[in-house]
Structure 1
């Protein structure tokens, strides 16, 4: 069903009742899988992601590689994304061979490589497996956030949180022409209906101030004058996501300390 673009210009409310700068509900847990080195479960709206981390481990044949002089000075991050058949409305299972998921995995691996101290684990590999259980909007941002939590749970030293969010442009009502100099409002954290109808970008930042952008992925073409506002809104969204992820990590750390002290 197409997005009703007549409502927003009148009420400044989106179809799900949020204003332009409101995040969807974010819920996350870490250490959800006891058999894994690190794990996290994250929900952004109705998008649900399970992330499992194993390693860093030396791959099979690592000794032979070192003897042949092909050892690596730092660990590599390998990301695999699987989307369950029941995750989306098309009821199609996607796995290793899906080109879009492979590109997303490469983007996530590159982003995490900038944040992790991989030089501490030479000739090793960190395996990240993401299971997309439900889709309601862009998937890349929640996958990045879930991976950040799972790597922290696995004890991989990181410089800071890598946090991601999406930002799009508000739609114009049918028959409404944009006047010269008039700009469309940015929309923070798109849901599934908005993803299909409006141009958007995914931005991920490293650090508390969000001053280092590590991922910037644009979907569809937009006017250059609109990009600056979209980027600024997306970075602000990343700051707020970072605060929510930090709260999850601190709560988990407090629970572990309380359990260890017997209180």
Structure 2
């Protein structure tokens, strides 16, 4: 049974895991984790762990689009990733939705026109799941694509944001950042992914926006607007961490060559 986040937050202004409304969980990542693939990464967000492998760009067989590369995504959720030990097959609706969303996001984000008549396969393996599944998959895939050398305008960073709604008229209705699994079961939330602007003066652009659950719009849509604003700001924080991972890896490679 999920914790009653709304009532506990109203008393302490802290969430069930001790975080404030705008705090991310612990994030760690690494790239070039497997030498047998063109690109690889591991992304850890709280207790959610995703491993990604990239194959390609390579010649695509029977591809209809002769001007752009085709992005294909395969998502595998380990049976031990969740407490219920549920085995998600390839025909699972949630898995199919993830694959379609990730493929569409990177099909529009990458410079696919540089690789005509080719395909890029993104293989994602979820080893542990504690919320932010789509966001973690997008972040892991983005890092692995950087490792594979696939050109893109910027790193695509994603995060979840939700809303603690007031039920008694006293508890504050506040947006929260980076929900864990228990919070996702209880609260309305969305997943948002952004790409950085081409210059310092340009704002980040929303590339992925998925409403994961229902929410009452009300109040002229201020709840949804607040969730989106918190999510976009969280994406900036996640992108900063991911860029530091890429920078550190590049420095390590240069030192090795010297």
- TM-score higher than 0.5: yes
- 1:244 and 1:110 map into 2 onto residues whose CA distance is 24
1:245 to 226, 234, 242: 242
- 1:153 and 1:138 map into 2 onto residues whose CA distance is 23
The structure with more radius of gyration: 1
Structure 2 segments unaligned to the other structure (5+ residues): none
- State the 1:103 CA deviation: 1.1
TM-score for the superposition, normalised by structure 1: 0.90
Matches within 5 A, 1:182-201: 184-201=173-190
- In the alignment, does 2:209 pair up with 1:213? no
CA-based RMSD of the aligned residues comes to: 1.6
- In the alignment, does 2:232 pair up with 1:231? no
- State the 1:19 CA deviation: 0.1
User: Does the 8 Å CA contact 1:199/1:220 hold for their aligned counterparts?
Assistant: yes
Name the SS of the counterpart of 2:96 in structure 1: helix
User: Does the 8 Å CA contact 2:68/2:114 hold for their aligned counterparts?
Assistant: yes
Distance 1:228 1:171, change over 3 A: closer
Name the SS of the counterpart of 1:56 in structure 2: strand
Matches within 5 A, 1:31-180: 31-60=32-61, 70-172=64-166, 176-178=167-169
- State the 1:115 CA deviation: 2.0
User: Does the 8 Å CA contact 2:10/2:172 hold for their aligned counterparts?
Assistant: no
- State the 1:95 CA deviation: 3.3
| Alpha-carbon displacement from aligned partner over 1:213-261 (angstroms, at most 9, x marks no partner) | 1111112222232000000000000000000000000000000000011
Give the number of aligned pairs: 249
**What is aligned with 2:3?**
3
- 2:60 and 2:211 map into 1 onto residues whose CA distance is 35
Which of structure 1's runs of 4+ aligned residues deviate more than 2 A? 208-211
Moved more, 152-161 or 88-97: 88-97
